[in-house]
A and B are shown apart, each in its own frame.
Chain A
């Protein structure tokens, strides 16, 4: 995967391989916090300790603010899906030496690996960032993966969740780069 920041503030991903595309397309599923209580509580934490909230404050928060937060999170994922609809295949892209070596190791020598490219408009960059962040928060809540310690890899393998760790780590790298892009843009 190659990353490029354009002068208009857009970013372009090129040489995306099949797994990269699969991971991007999985973002809405990975970021789905509705499937378990822990994820939902992390994405929608309380406004304040219960002892400090009046019933009116608590009710207003749940009735008015929480739906707006849900809408905002859904909006980020909609941005991702919108941009993924413009995914382009890179025709005739010759695999770089590292990819060729990897292909040869997997017995795929001679087969051309497909690559894809994706452009994210400047106004969508933060939506992508937040969608990836949401996915990482859910993966953390659901599978115990985080950025401060190595996960229990044996457990992740046993439970079929090892791929989630790779996806989490990919998002960390991409987010770090996207933050730099946003900060440079001011």
Chain B
């Protein structure tokens, strides 16, 4: 059985960029729960010399629901700068996204924001 490409759930989109230290401009940021127990995490896609640029774009677009233009911009950042923060938000959701990215064999991980 092939896992679905689309994210299983969508969270409301929050503010972007400068709202969080260490967040790169253009990165999608979703508001983390105000539990105090969790801090935002970045989901990072890193460059590798194997994955096709068109495929990276497709996966980013379909997992996160971004527009084609935004997904291309992120793919180019991965390719040219070596990595790109593709999403920031609550830990559990970040883990799910990393899992989905790794299922699609993109080199991906998460790191604490800030």
Contact = CB atoms under 8 A, between A and B. Distances in A.
A5 interface: no
B52 A175 contact: yes
A46 B105 CA distance: 13
A129 B92 CA distance: 28
A85 interface: no
Interface string B1-36: 111010000000000000000000000000000000
Interface string A122-156: 01101101100110110010000011110000000
Contacts of B76: none
Interface residues of B, number: 26
A44 B109 CA distance: 10
Contacts of A57: 95
A88 interface: no
A151 to B, nearest CB: 11
The CB with the most chain A CB atoms within 10 A, among B2, B98, B103, is that of: B2
A104 interface: no
Contact of B99 (A65, A140, A176, A179): A65
A180 B60 CA distance: 15
B52 A172 contact: yes
A184 to B, nearest CB: 11
A91 interface: no
Given A146-B49, A147-B49, A182-B58, A47 B109 contact: yes
Contacts of B41: 48
A45 B102 contact: yes
A34 interface: no
The CB with the most chain A CB atoms within 10 A, among B2, B5, B50, B103, is that of: B50
